[in-house]
Structure 1
């Protein structure tokens, strides 16, 4: 992507980047984000209709233009920042200069809060105390118990024929909602747990009055998702013909040599399974142990931080965290006011919590930056791999890295990798007491 940018330092904390995207790249970005918008909203063009037209009809011209403009600026900024060696905190404030349009250069301005640099009062090794890293017999037993439970299976329970609360019952069920067959509630074989609020109370009570082999027609109702003229949920009426085929019970297998041969043929019996469990637990605990040691060393390191973080930096990061918090609430379909009411706190208390969180985060990050600068630490490709392994779920490291590369976020990844490397360095050179 071809970008032109001009860097202008405003003061100690802020700078602007004036960025221009050439027309050919504007066209490409409009196409890419239109496709993404259509995919996100499950929009497909009709015959004789192009995708942009379909998206505009479905979402509205103004909304689409605003989304594309925001997306293009947000995508392009990291590339311009990297090209100008600009490191920022929080998110930039982006202002478009003119409208985003095909076959036309597009310009915008980014107001950035710059990442400051600090030094520490000392770079001598820190002193930390950590527990020993060990795998106990209790750890192994818990692991094997969980493994056995994950291989549990159902078998018929012939100890009683009458259906009781808590039974796992295999049902054959045919259901109609307001006279129309309800496929979601029809099955030749469905395991149903009585008394577990899996179905409306009237249905549950009738099932618990049945016996194995009995067939019964159950009429019940439940509030739907639409509202009536009084803004109350409309009541939906169901009729289910139910046959109780059998009572079942969950059987947890015994992990003996025979079970291991049948289910894990490459494992040398129960003793081999125990050895594998011990190794797996050790590997998992090693990762947790590394994080714990790094946390202890970073906590000691921040005691040597005596710099003054400017209000502009605090405000930029706090605004970023607050926006992420509100986005999360929106995904949960709740508001900040509802959250405050549920938690029994005031907005001032919430902001105080965020302020403390921001300070702890910034001091730790800037202290690690100071260590990296003092000892001349640099990030190589192996360090980036290590960061993505730490940041991603197992098996997704390559995909996450590709996403960072495509979206101009590799400077962000390199900074995080450098901080992880600095934290490891401090821990490795610490004076550690095992207690």
Structure 2
């Protein structure tokens, strides 16, 4: 059997071979004998089916298995000769040639991609200058007022007037579809925050202008994607009565309020709460500064300075992803032109390649940085983040996690968390020096 294995560069290799007809036939005998031990064919006892019968009945499938076994052997031999461990492979090997000859032999070519060797050099010397971010007293006071306002109780307004946007209206309501009341569509003395978007679209806008003790029919249409299929897309009439309008009481910035905001701490004063808010705002500002300014600058510098081979299959995948995103923004006419002219597709792919290479390069650089800085993110941490975000959005955490798993997004989310953590660690160290 002719065989050749060679590296194209540190991240790519090609294995080519010619599989002899005798090798395939030998494998065919082996897989047929193995299959005969377990097959259940009418007229023969299980496990006693003649090999010739198995070959005759399942010729195509057995030949496919025999060729597959020969291909796996070639791949294993090639990786051994190239000294490539299985854990260093990226993605599945790509069969770029599979040519069956008249003499029964098969010529094959397999491309494999491996993790590149990333020499980071003195990567800390490339970290950009980091400024200390400060927080003004006005920012802290504004946040404090916002918190106090949110926790302040609602009180009835002192004078009667019509409902305005952002009022808290106390209403009775009952909903009807085709004149029939529906389940869950009735409430009494309900405190509606007008303008919050918590009700069906169009409902809150029609409450604006109502007067005390006024009754009114409000007509709305349930969204097509409404959770109750019985109501989705249907028109409904709500009989609404306004009882009163409420507003937030004046915020009281006292030590008691501070203790309420920090229940786990002792001897809390309003100054303690101010310190906490200052630290919180400072962390938020710093995180945004890192994420939007310093991280892109640092990664762009590393991508430009560091040189190493990239797995071509991974770059191709990134180009395909970018191409698909671009196609989604195109008109039908533009897509039709691409379908009729393959050269234009390749032209666009070439335009997208440089950016794709930079993106792939940055991913491997972040992975190398994480190893160098011993930064890790566990699968449990990824799950916890998704659970927390789902609960904040009012979604079922298990459903969200399942959707991400099925879509294959978890590795990308994990890499994003690693990137955030390792870059922040390096920038914090720079700030502290």
Q: TM-score, normalised by structure 2?
A: 0.52
Seen in structure 2, the aligned counterparts of structure 1 residues 137 and 360 have a Cα distance that, compared at 3 Å, is farther
1:1-32 residue CA offsets vs partner (Å, 9 max, x unmatched):
xxxxxxx978643689xxxxxxxxxxxxxxxx
1:269 aligns with 2:264: no
Please state how far the C-alpha of 1:248 moved relative to its aligned partner.
Answer: 1.5
Per-residue deviation, 1:288: 5.2
Report the equivalent of 1:131: 131
Deviation at 1:246, TM superposition (A): 0.6
2:356 corresponds in structure 1 to 358
Q: Distance in 1 between matches of 2:120 and 2:423?
A: 14
Is 1:213 paired with 2:205? no
CA distance in 1, matches of 2:259, 2:418: 46
| Alignment pair present for 1:144 and 2:136 | no
Partner of 1:42: none
> Does structure 1 retain, via aligned residues, the 8 Å contact 2:175–2:236?
no
For residues 415 and 167 of structure 1, the distance between their equivalents in structure 2, rounded to whole angstroms, comes to: 44
Counterpart-to-counterpart distance in 1, 2:243 and 2:262: 33
- Larger strand proportion, structure 1 or 2? 1
Deviation of the 1:301 alpha carbon: 2.4
Partner of 1:247: 245
Residue 362 of structure 1: how far off its partner (Å): 2.1
Query: Could you tell me which residue of structure 1 aligns to residue 376 of structure 2?
Result: 384
Q: 1:85–1:409: structure 2 CA closer, same or farther, 3 Å change rule?
A: farther
Distance 2:420 2:234 in 1: 56
> How far did residue 182 of structure 1 move?
2.1
CA distance in 2 between partners of 1:169 and 1:149 (Å): 17
Deviation at 1:192, TM superposition (A): 3.5
Spell out the pairing of 1:28-427 with structure 2 (5 A cutoff): 84-88=86-90, 113-119=113-119, 125-126=125-126, 128-164=128-164, 167-192=167-192, 205=206, 207-208=207-208, 210-214=210-214, 216=215, 218=217, 220=219, 222=221, 225=224, 236-238=235-237, 240-251=238-249, 253-264=251-262, 266=266, 268-284=268-284, 293-307=294-308, 309=310, 311-319=312-320, 337=328, 339-340=329-330, 355=353, 357-367=355-365, 377=372, 379=374, 383-385=375-377, 393=385
In the TM superposition, residue 169 of structure 1 has moved relative to its aligned partner by 1.6
Alpha-carbon distance between aligned partners in 2 of 1:412 and 1:225, rounded to the nearest angstrom: 32
Q: CA deviation at 1:134?
A: 3.2
* C-alpha distance in structure 2 between counterparts of 1:113 and 1:235, whole Å: 55
8 Å contact 1:298–1:423 — kept in the other structure?
Answer: no
Unaligned 5+ runs, structure 1: 1-7, 17-80, 95-109, 227-232, 327-335
Whole-Å separation in 2 of the counterparts to 1:411 and 1:210: 52
Displacement of 1:188 in angstroms is: 0.9
Radius of gyration: which is bigger? 2
Give the 3-state SS of the residue equivalent to 2:128 in structure 1.
Answer: strand
After superposition, the C-alpha distances for 1:152-205 in whole angstroms (9 at most, x for unaligned) are 442211322444555432110122211221234311132345578855769955
Equivalent residues of 1:213, 1:244 under 8 A apart? yes
State the alpha-carbon separation in 1 of the partners of residues 279 and 177 from structure 2: 53
For the residue of structure 1 that corresponds to 2:173, the secondary structure is: strand
Aligned pairs, how many?
Answer: 316
Determine helix, strand or coil for the equivalent of 1:384.
coil
- The DSSP-based 3-state class of the residue aligned with 2:313 is helix
Q: 1:366 and 1:280, CA in 2 relative to 1: closer, same or farther beyond 3 A?
A: same
Alpha-carbon distance in structure 2 between the residues aligned to 1:391 and 1:322: 30
Query: For residues 171 and 211 of structure 2, what CA distance do their matches in structure 1 show?
Result: 11
CA distance 1:394–1:186, change in 2 (3 Å): closer
Contact 1:168 1:247 in 2 (8 A): yes
Q: Deviations over 1:198-255 (max 9, x none)?
A: 55769955x55643123x35263637749xxxxxx976352x3322111112346232
Distance 1:114 1:409, change over 3 A: farther
- Do the aligned residues in 1 keep the contact of 2:169 with 2:245 (CA within 8 Å)? yes
Gaps of 5+ in 2: 16-78, 96-109, 226-231, 339-344, 390-396
Could you say if the C-alpha distance between residues 243 and 9 of structure 1 is closer, same or farther in structure 2, counting changes exceeding 3 Å?
farther
Deviations 1:254-295 (A, max 9, x none): 322342245545352211111222333445556556656554
Distance in 1 between residues matched to 2:182 and 2:417, nearest whole Å: 53
Looking at structure 2, the residues matched to 396 and 224 of structure 1 have their Cα atoms a distance apart, in angstroms, of 27
